[in-house]
C-alpha cells in the first residue's frame, strides 16, 4: 500500500501536467469535425508489357470519396489510382478498382468509397510499318505559272501504333503547303499529320518539301528523229528506225529549236536480246545550248531485235 502511495505521489506535478495535456488533446480531437468529400484522381498504369498498348477511350480519372478531420492535410496532387498491367495480354481486360489501388493517401485520411468499380481496357499488339509521305498542296501559283512537282525528303517514314490502326494506314500526309501566288520554286519544312492520335511517327516528325514552280510551257514537235544504236555492236534491227519526239519550252521562250541538234539513242549494251525482241524508249539528250529551257516530254517506243549473222 505504501509502495502504491509512493508511486502515485512521486513527481505528482509532472503527472498532473501530462494528464492535463492529454485531456486538452482529447477535447481538441473530439471537437474536430470529420469531413467527407469526393476527389477526382488520375488513373495510372505501371509495368505495361513491351509491344502492347491500350486502344480504347478508357476512364482517365475516377471519383474517390474520402473522410478526414478538419485539421488533416491532404495534397490532392499526390493522389492516383495505380494499376499493375504486368500480366496483361491482347484482348479485353476488366480491371477491378479497390482501396488498395489509391496511392498517396495520408495515414489520417480514409478512403470510404469509389465511384467506378472497374475499368475496361482494350489491348492490342504494337505494329510498325513504313508508309509513303504525301504532300498536301493548297492554293494556285501566280498566273502563267504551274506546279511542276513536289519532292519530299524523306519520301517514306516509319509509323507505329495499335495493330488494327496501323493496318489501315498507307500514307502520312504533310501539313498544308501554300503555293498561292508563287512564281519561284522553294523549300519548306513540313510537319506530318497521321490524323489518328493513336499512331506515332518513329522517324522524322517533319520532311523537307522541294516545291518546283515553273512558267507554263508549250509543246514543240521535233518531228521524226533517226534512232542511233550505241555501241554499234552487236548488230541489231530497230523498228521503226525513226521516232516521233516532242519537247516543251517556256511560253515566253522566243528562240528557234533545231531538230538537227537532237538525237535519239538506244543503248543496246544494256539490253538482253538473246531472249527475243525488247521494247524500249530511246534516250533523247538535251544539247548544251538548250539546257534549262527545253524538256523532253514524249518519245515513241521502238522494238529492238538482235540480228544474227547468216552462216557462210
Is the pLDDT at 55 greater than 60, yes or no? yes
Claim to verify: residue 133 and residue 168 sit in the same structural domain: yes
Is the pLDDT at 247 greater than 90, yes or no? yes
Q: Any idea which residue has 509509323 for its cell?
A: 159
Q: What's the CA gap between 173 and 191, in Å, rounded?
A: 9
pLDDT band per the 50, 70, 90 thresholds, residue 15: low
pLDDT score recorded for residue 312: 41
Instruction: State percent of the chain over pLDDT 90.
Output: 64
Q: Is residue 302 part of a domain?
A: yes
Residue 44: domain span: 34-116
Averaged pLDDT for residues 92-106? 92
DSSP at 180 = T
Q: What are phi and psi of 13, to 5 degrees?
A: -65, -45
DSSP H helical ranges for 98-203: 163-167
Beta bridge partners of 72: none
**What is the pTM (predicted TM-score) of this model?**
0.67
Is the pLDDT at 311 greater than 60, yes or no? no
pLDDT 10s digits, 113-136: 998 899 999 999 999 999 999 999
Q: Is residue 65 part of a domain?
A: yes
The residue among 17 and 277 whose pLDDT is bigger is 277
User: Distance of CA 93 to CAs 63, 77, 90, Å?
Assistant: 21, 27, 8
Q: Is residue 9 part of a domain?
A: no
Is the pLDDT at 258 greater than 60, yes or no? yes
Beta bridge partners of 127: 161
Claim to verify: residue 253 and residue 263 sit in the same structural domain: yes
Cβ–Cβ under 8 Å, residues 214 and 250: yes
Is the pLDDT at 18 greater than 80, yes or no? no
Residues whose CB falls within 8 Å of the CB of residue 73, separated by 6 or more in sequence, listed in order = 106
Q: Is residue 104 part of a domain?
A: yes
Is the pLDDT at 149 greater than 90, yes or no? yes
Claim to verify: residue 227 and residue 280 sit in the same structural domain: yes
pLDDT band per the 50, 70, 90 thresholds, residue 20: low
Lowest mean pLDDT among 44-48, 224-228, 268-272: 268-272
Claim to verify: residue 256 and residue 203 sit in the same structural domain: no
Q: What is the mean pLDDT of the chain?
A: 87
Number of separate domains in the chain: 3
Claim to verify: residue 54 and residue 135 sit in the same structural domain: no
Cβ–Cβ under 8 Å, residues 40 and 65: no
pLDDT 10s digits, 60-97: 999 999 887 766 778 888 899 999 999 999 999 999 99
pLDDT band per the 50, 70, 90 thresholds, residue 107: confident
Amino acid at each position: 500500500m505504501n509502495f502504491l502511495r509512493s508511486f502515485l505521489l512521486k513527481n505528482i506535478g509532472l503527472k498532473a501536467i501530462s494528464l492535463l495535456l492529454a485531456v486538452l488533446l482529447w477535447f481538441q480531437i473530439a471537437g474536430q469535425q470529420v469531413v467527407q468529400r469526393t476527389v477526382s484522381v488520375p488513373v495510372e498504369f505501371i509495368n505495361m508489357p513491351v509491344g502492347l498498348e491500350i486502344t480504347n477511350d478508357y476512364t482517365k480519372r475516377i471519383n474517390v470519396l474520402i473522410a478526414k478531420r478538419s485539421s488533416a492535410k491532404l495534397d490532392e496532387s499526390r493522389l492516383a489510382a495505380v494499376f499493375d498491367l504486368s500480366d496483361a495480354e491482347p484482348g479485353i481486360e476488366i480491371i477491378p478498382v479497390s482501396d488498395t489501388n489509391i496511392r498517396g493517401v495520408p495515414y489520417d485520411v480514409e478512403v470510404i468509397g469509389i465511384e467506378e468499380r472497374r475499368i475496361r481496357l482494350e489491348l492490342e499488339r504494337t505494329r510498325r510499318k513504313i508508309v509513303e509521305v504525301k504532300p498536301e498542296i493548297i492554293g494556285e501559283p501566280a498566273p502563267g505559272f504551274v506546279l511542276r512537282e513536289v519532292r519530299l525528303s524523306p519520301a517514306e517514314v516509319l509509323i507505329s501504333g495499335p495493330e488494327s490502326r496501323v493496318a489501315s494506314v498507307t500514307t502520312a500526309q504533310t501539313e498544308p503547303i501554300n503555293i498561292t501566288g508563287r512564281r519561284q520554286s522553294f523549300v519548306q519544312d513540313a510537319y506530318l499529320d497521321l490524323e489518328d492520335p493513336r499512331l506515332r511517327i518513329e522517324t522524322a516528325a517533319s520532311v523537307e518539301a522541294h516545291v518546283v514552280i515553273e512558267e507554263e510551257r508549250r509543246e514543240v514537235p521535233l518531228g521524226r528523229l533517226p534512232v542511233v544504236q550505241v555501241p554499234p555492236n552487236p548488230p541489231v534491227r530497230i523498228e521503226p528506225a525513226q521516232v516521233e519526239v516532242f519537247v516543251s519550252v517556256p511560253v515566253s521562250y522566243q528562240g528557234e529549236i533545231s531538230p538537227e541538234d537532237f538525237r535519239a539513242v538506244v543503248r543496246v549494251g544494256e539490253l538482253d536480246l538473246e531472249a527475243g525482241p525488247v521494247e524500249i524508249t530511246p534516250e533523247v539528250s538535251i544539247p548544251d545550248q538548250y539546257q534549262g529551257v527545253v524538256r523532253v516530254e514524249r518519245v515513241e517506243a521502238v522494238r529492238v531485235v538482235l540480228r544474227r549473222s547468216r552462216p557462210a
